[in-house]
Chain A
């Protein structure tokens, strides 16, 4: 006999009561009334009808053979390919990096950006929060941003600076385009960019979990959010944690929630992470914080590092992109192409 009741989304206590009362299969629950079940399990009638609701949900799924899909709601890879072709990516403002990323940061994916302190992780976070708002006419997404700040490193003056540069760039582009085509007007002001960044400050790991749980509701009310930035995702989990098993559970649950959010709301999740040193094979390596089980929590991983005096970004992990690196620089305007490469970019 199958212990089918394992499939029900009910509490472990109630499941235990079901099993010890002999209700192990879904069919045993199909013809029982809430009041009978409540009596047999010695629970409230409300709880009993919740259990029966969960059971009938599973029962319905099993008998869905009328539909042609092998799994209800599944998509063929062919349809997904078309969807992907239509989706826009968030530019990083660095042409070389956009190139190796296939156009920028992708929606429906979780991208982790890691690096040593001072390499420009927060700069990337702010830049993306601004760039996601570039209007569709200018090749952007016309979206809004959520910024979850765990370390207090978000600087609003810097965001304003980057937004001003973004508006300047758009005006320049507008001049350039006007000569050829019809005008597309820059209507956004730097202040509008700041208004469209929803900022959450998080001071403990419970607050962090709470805010990520809340995001689904928040985004259902602000449907044009296209990027969620967590700066940094690991900060609160690196201190004051004795129970490592609990930490693994919490983090892996958190990772799945972010994956779900990215997929279901068609938005990009960008996680900024710190780097630690790790000793293996007789030498020290830089690895991202939180260890081996967390390293599976992202779809793509970009590592920022110093190469001499230049900053580089390296694609460390991606299901669809090749490993590659590209130089970038942090300027007064924000993230830009590398200074030594800038001439080449202008010419092409």
Chain B
């Protein structure tokens, strides 16, 4: 039964394209081609020559052309620079973080379409910045907060809102309105995260009112660390697929994505961001937070930014 083995993907095309019939599939299988992908690494001239020796050479060659055109149709449409600029200016807004100094530092705040990472040791205010940004963005749009450490605190968000110069009477109404536009979901493993992200993707297509502007994952590293390392590249691949999916969500649905990452001891006891080298390329913006022990003063330093130099830092405090 070797001829039938591993033929699923070509077989799955049978219904749609009559030319990819069982005869064609058998011909392909006999030359080690089982999936559309296998055609990409095949010397096509050799394949056509082999097909010509067959009694049904015409149909076979037609089949090959069909598969190649299926491959061709896989590419995405192209854009020119002006299209991209227009998309950036019209759809990728900058969201204020609610902290004036951070906004000034980041030239306005968090960019829709970007994945921004906050990295820092324990209690360096990563979650505090997340909650602050959530409270501010929720005033004008939806926020989805994925919580891995049971640290999402609606009470804390309400505190951020009350410190606003607003009338006492209207406080409660504002708080209700803002808190109602933040949804929180607890995620305790990477598979649930992937499920939620896919679900978000399909739901964002249909959303009309109360548009989601911000997605927070606090913390992404605690989901990835348990699967990373050890033997095999399994965990590594999960990490990359989660990371690239976040980037895609951010770009296609004009979301600002904010994730947090912790730090681990590197060489000589110097702290470095967790998740290693290959995660490094995922976030568009990486910001390192640090806090002096026992003080409210916190500093934010740019590690990576698409158009700002790294190493710049700002001090801020969170009330």
Given A22-B6, A78-B176, does the pair A319, B194 have CB atoms closer than 8 Å? no
Given A22-B35, A39-B4, A71-B196, does the pair A295, B121 have CB atoms closer than 8 Å? yes
Could you tell me if A77 and B182 are in contact, using CB atoms closer than 8 angstroms?
A: yes
- Measured between beta carbons, the chain A residues less than 8 angstroms from B265 are 291-292
CB proximity to B under 8 Å, residues A15-59: 15, 20-24, 28, 31-32, 36-37, 39-40, 42, 58
Could you tell me if A1 and B74 are in contact, using CB atoms closer than 8 angstroms?
A: yes
Listed stretches A150-158, A181-189, A218-226, A247-255; interface member: A247-255
Could you tell me if B229 and A245 are in contact, using CB atoms closer than 8 angstroms?
A: yes
Shortest Cβ gap from B205 to chain A (Å): 8
- The answer to whether the Cβ of A348 comes within 8 Å of any Cβ in the partner chain is no
Listed stretches A4-12, A118-126, A159-167, A328-336; interface member: A4-12
- The answer to whether the Cβ of B104 comes within 8 Å of any Cβ in the partner chain is no
- Give the CA-CA distance A80 to B35 in the complex, in Å: 49
- The answer to whether the Cβ of A345 comes within 8 Å of any Cβ in the partner chain is no
- Give the CA-CA distance A240 to B203 in the complex, in Å: 49
Shortest Cβ gap from B303 to chain A (Å): 17
CB proximity to B under 8 Å, residues A242-281: 245-246, 248-249, 252-253, 255-257, 259-260, 262-263, 279-280
Listed stretches B87-95, B105-113, B231-239, B307-315; interface member: B231-239
- Measured between beta carbons, the chain A residues less than 8 angstroms from B189 are 256
Could you tell me if A74 and B230 are in contact, using CB atoms closer than 8 angstroms?
A: no
Could you tell me if B229 and A249 are in contact, using CB atoms closer than 8 angstroms?
A: yes
CB proximity to A under 8 Å, residues B135-159: 138, 142, 144-145, 148-158
Could you tell me if B150 and A77 are in contact, using CB atoms closer than 8 angstroms?
A: no
Could you tell me if B150 and A262 are in contact, using CB atoms closer than 8 angstroms?
A: yes
From A110, which residue of chain B is reached at the shortest CB distance?
B150
Could you tell me if A23 and B8 are in contact, using CB atoms closer than 8 angstroms?
A: yes
Shortest Cβ gap from A160 to chain B (Å): 33
Listed stretches A61-69, A128-136, A200-208; interface member: A61-69
- Measured between beta carbons, the chain B residues less than 8 angstroms from A77 are 138, 145, 152, 154, 157, 178-180, 182-184
Given A6-B194, A77-B180, does the pair A71, B185 have CB atoms closer than 8 Å? yes
- The answer to whether the Cβ of A73 comes within 8 Å of any Cβ in the partner chain is yes
Given A252-B225, A292-B121, does the pair A80, B144 have CB atoms closer than 8 Å? no
- The answer to whether the Cβ of B212 comes within 8 Å of any Cβ in the partner chain is yes
Q: When the two chains form the complex, which single residue of A76, A108, A301 contacts B123, counting CB atoms closer than 8 Å?
A: A301
Could you tell me if B199 and A64 are in contact, using CB atoms closer than 8 angstroms?
A: yes
- Measured between beta carbons, the chain A residues less than 8 angstroms from B264 are 248, 291-293
- Measured between beta carbons, the chain A residues less than 8 angstroms from B35 are 21-22
The count of chain B contact residues (Cβ–Cβ below 8 Å) is 86
- The answer to whether the Cβ of B263 comes within 8 Å of any Cβ in the partner chain is yes
Given A3-B241, A12-B234, A296-B262, does the pair A70, B212 have CB atoms closer than 8 Å? yes
Q: When the two chains form the complex, which single residue of B9, B38, B202 contacts A23, counting CB atoms closer than 8 Å?
A: B9
Given A249-B229, A252-B226, does the pair A259, B149 have CB atoms closer than 8 Å? yes
Could you tell me if B238 and A6 are in contact, using CB atoms closer than 8 angstroms?
A: yes
- Measured between beta carbons, the chain B residues less than 8 angstroms from A72 are 199
- Give the CA-CA distance A19 to B16 in the complex, in Å: 22
Could you tell me if A69 and B195 are in contact, using CB atoms closer than 8 angstroms?
A: no
Shortest Cβ gap from B292 to chain A (Å): 11
- Measured between beta carbons, the chain A residues less than 8 angstroms from B179 are 76-78, 81
Given A75-B184, A292-B262, does the pair A61, B199 have CB atoms closer than 8 Å? yes
- Measured between beta carbons, the chain A residues less than 8 angstroms from B195 are 7, 58, 61
- The answer to whether the Cβ of B298 comes within 8 Å of any Cβ in the partner chain is no
Given A78-B179, A81-B158, does the pair A320, B203 have CB atoms closer than 8 Å? no
- The answer to whether the Cβ of A231 comes within 8 Å of any Cβ in the partner chain is no
From B199, which residue of chain A is reached at the shortest CB distance?
A61
Could you tell me if B123 and A317 are in contact, using CB atoms closer than 8 angstroms?
A: yes
- The answer to whether the Cβ of B122 comes within 8 Å of any Cβ in the partner chain is yes
Could you tell me if A293 and B185 are in contact, using CB atoms closer than 8 angstroms?
A: no
From A269, which residue of chain B is reached at the shortest CB distance?
B150
- Measured between beta carbons, the chain A residues less than 8 angstroms from B234 are 12, 15
Could you tell me if A296 and B188 are in contact, using CB atoms closer than 8 angstroms?
A: no
Could you tell me if A70 and B150 are in contact, using CB atoms closer than 8 angstroms?
A: no
- The answer to whether the Cβ of A174 comes within 8 Å of any Cβ in the partner chain is no
Q: When the two chains form the complex, which single residue of A36, A257, A299 contacts B150, counting CB atoms closer than 8 Å?
A: A299
From A82, which residue of chain B is reached at the shortest CB distance?
B154
Name 5 A/B residue pairs within 8 A (Cβ), A-sorted: A22-B37, A40-B4, A77-B178, A246-B230, A319-B128
Q: Knowing that A62-B201, A81-B179, A291-B265 touch, tell me 14 more A-B residue pairs with CB under 8 angstroms.
A: A63-B202, A70-B183, A70-B204, A71-B185, A71-B196, A71-B199, A76-B182, A77-B179, A81-B158, A259-B188, A279-B269, A291-B264, A298-B149, A317-B122
Write the residues of chain A forming the contact surface with B, with a CB cutoff of 8 angstroms: 1, 3, 6-9, 12, 15, 20-24, 28, 31-32, 36-37, 39-40, 42, 58, 61-65, 69-78, 80-81, 84, 108-110, 245-246, 248-249, 252-253, 255-257, 259-260, 262-263, 279-280, 291-293, 295-299, 301, 316-317, 319-320, 323
A-B complex: 5 closest residue pairs judged by Cβ atoms: A22-B35, A22-B9, A295-B122, A253-B226, A78-B179
